[in-house]
Amino acid sequence: MRAAAFKAIFVVGALTVLSGCAANDDPKNDNQVAGKVAFVKNCGSCHILSRAGTKGVTGPNLDQAFQQSIKDGFGRDAIRGVVHRQILYPNMNGVMPGKLVTGQTASDVATYVADAVSSPGKDGGALADAVKPAGAGAPTVAKNGVLATEADPNGQLAYTSNKATATPGPLEITFKNVSGVPHDVALQEGTNGPVLGKTPEITKGENKVSVTVKAGTYTFFCTVPGHRAAGMVGTLTVK
C-alpha cells in the first residue's frame, strides 16, 4: 500500500480506537514471539519495523507512523487496537488485503507490533532469536557449475545468504522462492557494471539463468523495485 494511503488509514484507525473500538481480546494472552514470526512472514515485505528487522518498501514505516501518537500520550494498548483492526479490516481503497492473519495470530501480531513500534534498542530474550537475521546464512558455494540461491522463506527482503563463491566459466544460477513475495535474481559485474542475466520474476517456485563468469567480484540482487535497496542483494566471488 502506498505511504500516503497508509497514513490516512492509520489516522482513521486511531480515531476508531478513540471512539472505543479496539481489539476485544486480552493482550496478556498473546504470544509476542509468534507475533513477531507472523509479522515478518506476512508483513515484513511491505513495512519497516526496526525491532523486527524488516525493511518493506510498499507500506509505511511503522516506527514513524506511530511516533506522534506516542508523543501525544496514546498508550500501547490503543496502538494495538489500531493495528489489530487494520489487519482485519484495512482500507477498502488500498492494496492491503484483509485478514492476512486472523484469530489468535492477528492478536499476537498486533501485540508485538504495538510494543515494538518506535521502541529504541533491540528485541531481547526469546524475541531476539525468533527470526534469523536476513541474509545471515552460510555462504553459498557453486557445485558443478550450479549456484543455488533462495529467497528468504520468512518473507524478509533478502536471500538466505548474501555471500556466494564460484569458479570461472559457465554458471547456472538456480533460484527458489517459497515466500509468496515476488522476487528474482540478477547478476551484475562489480556493483555498477552491466547485468549479465536474470531469472524471471516468480512468487512461488523455481527458476534459473545461465551466465559466464570470470575471476572477480559480482553482485546478485532482486530487480523488483525497492528490493535491492531494502537489502535483497549479495556478493558473488569468482576465483
The pLDDT of residue 4 = 41
How open is the CA angle 237-199-145, to the nearest 5 degrees?
45
- Of 122, 1, 127, whose CA–CA distance to 65 is shortest? 1
CATH of domain 140-238: 2.60.40.420
pTM, whole model, 2 decimals? Answer: 0.74
Q: Name the nearest CA neighbour of 49 among 41, 58, 40.
A: 40
User: What are the CA-CA distances from residue 94 to residues 5, 8, 82 (Å)?
Assistant: 7, 10, 16
For 77-135, what is the HEC assignment?
A: HHHHHHHHHHHHCCCCCCCCCCCCCCHHHHHHHHHHHHHHCCCCCCCCHHHHCCCCCCC
**pLDDT value for 74:** 87
> Domain limits of the chain?
3-128, 140-238
**Are both 3-128 and 140-238 of the same fold?**
no
Looking at residue 102, its pLDDT comes to: 94
- Asked if 167 contacts 143 with a C-beta cutoff of 8 angstroms, the reply is no
- Mapped onto helix, strand or coil, the DSSP state of residue 156 is coil
Residuewise pLDDT in 10s, the chain (239 residues): 334 444 444 444 444 443 344 444 667 789 999 999 999 988 988 899 999 999 888 888 999 999 998 999 989 999 999 999 999 998 877 778 889 899 999 999 999 999 999 999 999 999 999 988 777 788 999 999 999 999 998 888 999 999 999 999 999 999 999 988 999 999 999 999 999 999 999 999 999 999 999 999 999 999 999 999 999 999 999 99
Q: Which amino acid is at 151?
A: A
Residue the block writes with cell 525497492: 226
Which of these CATH numbers, 3.20.10.10, 1.10.760.10, 2.60.40.60, 1.10.10.10, describes 3-128?
A: 1.10.760.10
